[in-house]
């Protein structure tokens, strides 16, 4: 429908400079998603010793988003929100007891959730999920049951299924061997390798992605390329191992950077660059307890697992030559959940009207460097609403160290930070801005009044 109307419009206005085939409607979408990448881990986001020339170029040709957030500080809820455009509490893809799904979990993303892959399917797109899924590994929860034509990847975290003989605790990670973790590698619904050879996992995901793009180049496609790295245990291929200044973590990031280069080069080579929107992001902040096997949140406070900004703000780049202005920077507050509504708009599909969606079309941000439609950002940890951002202000109702500390610390009144003046959350301004706190408290009441949390899938 959208395609026809664009054609009609083109004929009516007789614009030979923009033939219908070049109209940027119904583009392809590629989402490249990392695992545990920190805000400060890319050269173009300030890392001093990790080299990311392909990501730097992607930013130079596209848009850097400096206040872009994942929807949760850990993997499963963050990915559920990316897929559905909804807060994880609405799908039950969170838990206050277990942070994520484990190999013995029985739950997964409920079938009645609408995924971004299903949005694209409804628009006639080919869809592929390559990489980490972590939204349920039992047959009924796999990507192929959620709108993806195909799947290739490790279905959960690469540090799960540790074998009995592997070193204990964190000792297994400092000099990791593939056979310490008996993780499966799946194609569609079958395990094709176990343990997955993680040393070549980034390379193989990349090759699959390139193959998919080439195969689907004459149609439209949605590719979700979710790297298993840089989640520990860290593995890099021979081409990258020992080559970075930043040690093994740097090797891994530089291989992901190479992978981004492969994907963008393929799009360029196939003449798809101006027909494809590419997002680069991650699921949550760096896993700081793993020393130099974890990344850096840059100037942000704390990391993975916490609702300080280092746990959820991500180094994000959007790329679409001809549509997104080269070298632009957006400071708008936005979320991985917003990719869902953006996809709907680009595909020309109506949003679902039978459920609450926490997603706001990013078109004004991406294509006009304009204001985000998102007014509020909720920082959840499991079912606990820990903090809320409104404009530049963030009020923490509860804080809790990412790991170790058993109980959250309550703040009444909440502690308050001005994130645009003080991105490191160092100076509590609660006593000077009671009116801001009152306003945010009203928003929270309204949010909670309407919220219907779903039962946890992670506790099944």
- For binding to a second copy (CB under 8 A), which residues are involved? 40, 43-49, 51, 56, 60, 66-67, 245-247, 249-250, 291-292, 296-299, 313, 327, 329, 331, 392, 418, 420-424, 426-427
Q: Is 168 left (phi over 0), alpha (psi -120 to 50) or beta?
A: beta
- The neighbour count for residue 434, using CB atoms within 10 Å, is 11
User: Token pair of 173, please?
Assistant: 């990670």
Give the Cα separation of 166 and 170 in Å (integer): 10
Q: Which is catalytic among the residues 75, 94, 129, 281? A: 75
Confirm whether 129 is a catalytic residue. Answer: no
For residues 41 and 208, which CB has a smaller minimum distance to a second copy in the complex? 41
Rounded least distance, CB 291 to a second copy, Å? 5
User: Token pair of 29, please?
Assistant: 């979408």
For residues 60 and 163, which CB has a smaller minimum distance to a second copy in the complex? 60
Instruction: Judge whether 29 and 275 are in contact, CB under 8 Å.
Output: no
Rounded least distance, CB 403 to a second copy, Å? 15
Confirm whether 134 is a catalytic residue. Answer: yes
For residues 5 and 243, which CB has a smaller minimum distance to a second copy in the complex? 243
Rounded least distance, CB 197 to a second copy, Å? 25
Instruction: Judge whether 158 and 228 are in contact, CB under 8 Å.
Output: yes
For residues 314 and 358, which CB has a smaller minimum distance to a second copy in the complex? 314
3-class SS string, 275-296: HEEEEEEECCCCCHHHHHHCCC
Give the Cα separation of 83 and 252 in Å (integer): 25
* Main-chain dihedrals φ then ψ at residue 308, nearest 5 degrees: -65, 160
Rounded least distance, CB 308 to a second copy, Å? 14
For residues 132 and 231, which CB has a smaller minimum distance to a second copy in the complex? 231
Instruction: Judge whether 73 and 398 are in contact, CB under 8 Å.
Output: no
Instruction: Judge whether 180 and 162 are in contact, CB under 8 Å.
Output: yes
- From the list 261, 283, 251, the residue with the least C-alpha distance to 56 is 261
Rounded least distance, CB 249 to a second copy, Å? 7
Q: Which is catalytic among the residues 34, 54, 129, 134? A: 134
Unique residue bearing structure tokens 């799009």: 267
Catalytic residues: 75, 134
């Amino acid at each position: 429908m959208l395609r026809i109307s664009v054609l009609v419009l083109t004929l009516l206005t007789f614009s030979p400079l923009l033939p219908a085939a070049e109209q940027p409607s119904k583009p392809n979408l590629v989402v490249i998603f990392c695992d545990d990448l920190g805000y400060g881990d890319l050269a173009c986001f300030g890392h001093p010793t990790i080299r990311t020339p392909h990501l730097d170029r992607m930013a130079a040709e596209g848009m850097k988003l400096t206040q872009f957030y994942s929807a949760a500080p850990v993997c499963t809820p963050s990915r559920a929100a990316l897929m559905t455009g909804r807060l994880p509490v609405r799908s039950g893809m969170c838990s206050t007891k277990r942070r994520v799904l484990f190999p013995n979990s029985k739950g997964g993303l409920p079938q009645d959730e609408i995924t971004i892959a299903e949005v694209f399917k409804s628009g006639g797109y080919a869809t592929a999920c390559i990489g980490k899924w972590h939204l349920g590994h039992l047959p009924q929860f796999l990507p192929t049951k959620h709108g993806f034509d195909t799947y290739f990847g490790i279905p959960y975290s690469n540090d799960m299924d540790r074998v009995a003989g592997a070193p204990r605790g964190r000792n297994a990670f400092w000099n990791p061997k593939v056979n310490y973790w008996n993780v499966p590698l799946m194609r569609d619904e079958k395990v094709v390798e176990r343990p997955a050879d993680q040393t070549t996992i980034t390379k193989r995901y990349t090759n699959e992605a390139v193959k998919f793009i080439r195969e689907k180049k004459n149609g439209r496609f949605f590719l979700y390329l979710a790297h298993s790295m840089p989640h520990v245990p860290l593995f890099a291929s021979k081409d990258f191992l020992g080559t970075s200044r930043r040690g093994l973590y740097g090797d891994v990031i530089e291989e992901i950077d190479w992978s981004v280069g492969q994907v963008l080069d393929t799009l360029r080579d196939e003449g798809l660059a101006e027909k494809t929107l590419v997002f680069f992001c991650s699921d949550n902040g760096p896993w700081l307890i793993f020393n130099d096997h974890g990344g850096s949140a840059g100037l942000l406070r704390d990391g993975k697992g916490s609702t300080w900004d280092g746990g959820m703000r991500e180094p994000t780049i959007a790329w679409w030559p001809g549509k997104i202005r080269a070298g632009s920077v957006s400071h708008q507050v936005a979320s991985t959940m917003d990719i869902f509504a953006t996809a709907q708009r680009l595909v020309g599909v109506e949003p679902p009207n039978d459920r609450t969606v926490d997603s706001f079309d990013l078109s004004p941000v991406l294509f006009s460097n304009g204001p985000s439609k998102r007014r509020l950002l909720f920082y959840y940890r499991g079912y606990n609403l820990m903090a809320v951002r409104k404009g530049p202000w963030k009020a923490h109702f509860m804080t809790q160290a990412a790991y170790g500390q058993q109980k959250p610390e309550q703040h009444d009144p909440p502690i308050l930070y001005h994130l645009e003046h003080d991105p490191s959350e160092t100076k509590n301004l609660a006593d000077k801005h009671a009116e801001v706190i009152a306003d945010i408290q009203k928003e929270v009441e309204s949010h909670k009044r309407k919220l219907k949390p779903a039962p946890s899938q992670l506790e099944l």
